[in-house]
Structure formats: structure tokens, C-alpha cells
Chain A
Amino acid sequence: MTDHPAKRLAFEDFTTGETVVFHTVTVSAADIVDFATDWDPQPMHLDEEAGRASPLGGLAASGWHMICLIMRGMCDGFLLNSTSQGSPGVDEVNWLKPLKPGDTLTIRYTVLDTRISRSRPHIGLVHFLFEAINQRGETVATIRNPIMFARRDTAEATP
């Protein structure tokens, strides 16, 4: 055993119904333009005027940027200190409100369900709802997806 699994979040540490705030992040216009330049170079994500001409009403972040902000927040907030084994997919992503320069997102999860994998009994699946909420209390984006975690009693067998 190379580490101490008890210090890391394992499958058993997630309880159906619990809501946990795990991250906050503020985005700048430069952040929005940088991400869009790399991955989603549409004018509404690169330029204030083009954003105003679009349904977004001004320069606004790519939806993929919102996802990546939530993903990074998940890593820093709890995943890197866990027995995470990745995710098979995502049920749903909703982009509900534009994310604009200067906005601060508070990111939280709610555990929707937990179950042990039938085919890999040393793994458990935790179904999460992730919500990113801006400084006005508006939900900007949600992600619903399962993440696989090693179970605590078998965690020493996996990295």
C-alpha cells in the first residue's frame, strides 16, 4: 500500500441527497477569449460586439468553457483527493444563462444516487448533479453525470 486510502474520498463517502459546495471561480474577458480561441472560436465568444448581436447579449463564455471550469473545480475541490476512476459519460449538460466577464461561479454537487458496479465490484458509481451558480444567484450551467470511485476496502488495489 503506497498511500492511506482513509484520507481520500472513496465511494463510501458519498451519500444520496447531500449537497456540497466545493469551488468558486471568477472569469475575466481574457479568460473567455483565451478558451474560445483554442476550442470554440465563434465571434460571440471572442468579441463584445458580436456577442451583442447574438442571443447571448454580449461577450460570453463558450459552453465548453463552463464545463471545463466545472471540471477543474471538481478536480481541485474533491476529485484529486479521491479514488476517482473516471467517468463513462454525461447524461446531460444544460447551458442556462450566459457566463460573462467578471462573473463569479459557485459550484456545488448533489449526490443523486450511488451504486456498486455489478461487473466490477471493487468500483462504485456515484451519480452527481453539478450546478454552477453566478453572483446573482442564477444557475448558469448544470451537468448530470456518474463518476466511478474505488471502494474504500479495495482502494489499496487501485491507484
Chain B
Amino acid sequence: MTDFEDLEIGHEADIGSHTFTAEEIIAFARRWDPQPFHIDPEAAARSLLGGLCASGWHTACVWMRLNVEYGKRLAAEALAAGRQPPRFGPSPGISNLKWPRPVYVGDTISYRWRISGKRPLATRPQWGLVEHEALGVNQNGQPVLSFEGKFFMGRRLS
């Protein structure tokens, strides 16, 4: 996968996994989402969530970081093979994001994405728009995160 033109709809990638510790859950939440069930184990036990669990945005941010690291691995492979690395641009948005289950302390989440669509952009001929589905699954095979996203990707320059 080097350019927009090479992307195949249906292509899937495992982008890595991450184990959530209490320290990390609390550190993220103190900065960005300091609700009691993300920073206080006792309050969390009394909440609907039933125990200390990661902010939903924390589980999504880990997806993003692993996604960027995966993109960097693809770029390094392309360079090593003497090809131009892929160019990734910004995203106009995401939709249909679901947190079907909490991510509790000690959970290991495996993340992946799947390409679901693509189209060239008439207004920006150097870029195409790629649609993807993102997924995070815990160690018991239960989904904890899913969303649909879009991002710009460089088209082959002629």
C-alpha cells in the first residue's frame, strides 16, 4: 500500500494492542475527562460502569496512536523497497462511534481497521478521500470501540 490508487476496499490491518493500567487510565482522565468513574475507583464501583474504566476518548486515542505508528511502519517498508511512502492527510470527521463495553484496568485491547470505501477529490486532485471502519476488541473477544472514519490520502503524482 503506497498510494491512494493501491488501496483495496475490504483491506484489513491489525495495528497492534494495548493493555490499560490504572495509572494510565487515571492520568488520561485527570487531563481530559475527569469524571469520577475514570479517576476514582470507589465512585466507579458505585456507577453504572461498575469499576474504574478508561475514558472512551482514551480508548479512541490509543487507536489513533497505533494507527499512526502502523502508518510509519508502512512508510519505512516502502522506503526500504525503494518506493515512495504513502502520504496521509487530515480527517474531516468520524461517525457512529460506539463504546459497547467499558475498558477496565488490566484489559488488553486489540485494534484494527478495515478500508470500506474511497473516492478521488475533484477539488484537491493531489488527494483522495478514504473511508474506514475502526475496531477495538478486548481479551475476551468483546468489542469495546468501533467507529467509521475518513482521511485524506495522497494520490499518485504523474
Contact = CB atoms under 8 A, between A and B. Distances in A.
Contacts of B71: 42
Contacts of B56: 86-87, 89
B93 interface: yes
Interface in B91-108: 91-100
A121 interface: no
Interface in A52-108: 54-56, 60, 62-64, 67-68, 71-72, 75, 79-80, 84-96, 98
Contacts, number: 107
Contacts of A132: none
Contact of B90 (A85, A95, A145, A148): A95
Contacts of B32: 68, 71-72
A38 to B, nearest CB: 7
B127 interface: yes
B99 A87 contact: yes
Given A39-B64, A55-B152, A85-B47, A94 B93 contact: yes
Interface in A119-146: 120, 123, 145
B113 to A, nearest CB: 15
Given A39-B61, A39-B65, A158-B47, A86 B35 contact: yes
B99 A93 contact: no
Interface residues of A, number: 40
B36 interface: yes
Nearest to A145: B97
Interface of B: 31-37, 43, 46-49, 55-57, 60-62, 64-65, 68, 71, 88-100, 124, 127, 147, 152
21 contacts: A39-B61, A39-B64, A44-B90, A56-B90, A68-B32, A71-B55, A72-B31, A72-B33, A75-B35, A80-B35, A85-B49, A86-B48, A89-B56, A89-B99, A92-B95, A92-B96, A93-B93, A93-B94, A94-B92, A123-B48, A159-B46
For the complex of A and B, the 10 pairs showing the least CB-CB separation, nearest first, are A89-B98, A90-B97, A159-B46, A68-B32, A39-B61, A94-B93, A85-B48, A92-B95, A93-B94, A71-B33
